[in-house]
Structure 1
């Protein structure tokens, strides 16, 4: 059974550290995803599979939210530029979707691995 509290806390840790990690682009976000997955796996406990699952969910949630924020920012920028900007941002939507999926996969996988470590430490 999924411990949603552990997933949410892991997501919040990853989000807060990701914002702080903007000072070190790339490395800060990777470290944030690892920390969030570790916290989710540690809080959930219950073995390596449970840690993997909870870390995966925490990382996926962070990736989905991050992708949505990028999409909204590009959409608002397109609306501000009028009809031509709307057409350009609509065409860029496919690329934004691909980027959001890639971000979600990377964040989910690194958080899942860290969740396994967190579950192993908690045992």
Structure 2
């Protein structure tokens, strides 16, 4: 069962470290992903699989939220073109959202590995 509290705390930790990590582009975001995944896995505990899952969710949450916001914005922008434009941009917005979800899950693998380490150390 997913511990959403652990996922949310890991996501917030990742966001805070990521903001400070803007000073060192690339490395700062890598460290943020590792730290947030570790925090989520450590709080969730329950073994390697649980830590992996919670780290993956914490790492992907930002990408999913961002993709949802961009997809909705594209869908709403198409309403200015009338009903047909709304339908076309709605489909484009859904495609953008699905693409963002896929990419964010792939990029969250570092957080998942750090989450597994965090869960292993919490036991």
- State whether TM-score is above 0.5: yes
Task: Report the aligned-residue RMSD.
Answer: 3.1
Q: TM-score, normalised by structure 1?
A: 0.72
CA spacing shift, 1:32–1:72, aligned 2, 3 Å: farther
- Offset of residue 17 of structure 1: 1.1
CA spacing shift, 1:30–1:98, aligned 2, 3 Å: farther
What residue ranges of structure 1 are gaps of 5+ in the alignment? 76-91
> Partners of 2:62 and 2:98 in 1: how far apart?
16
Q: TM-score, normalised by structure 2?
A: 0.72
> Partners of 1:112 and 1:59 in 2: how far apart?
7
Question: After the TM superposition, which segments of 4 or more aligned residues of structure 1 sit over 2 Å from their partners?
Answer: 65-75, 92-103
- Provide the residue aligned with 2:50 in structure 1: 50
Q: Is the 2:70–2:97 contact (alpha carbons within 8 Å) kept by the matching residues of 1?
A: no
What is the number of equivalent residue pairs in this alignment? 122
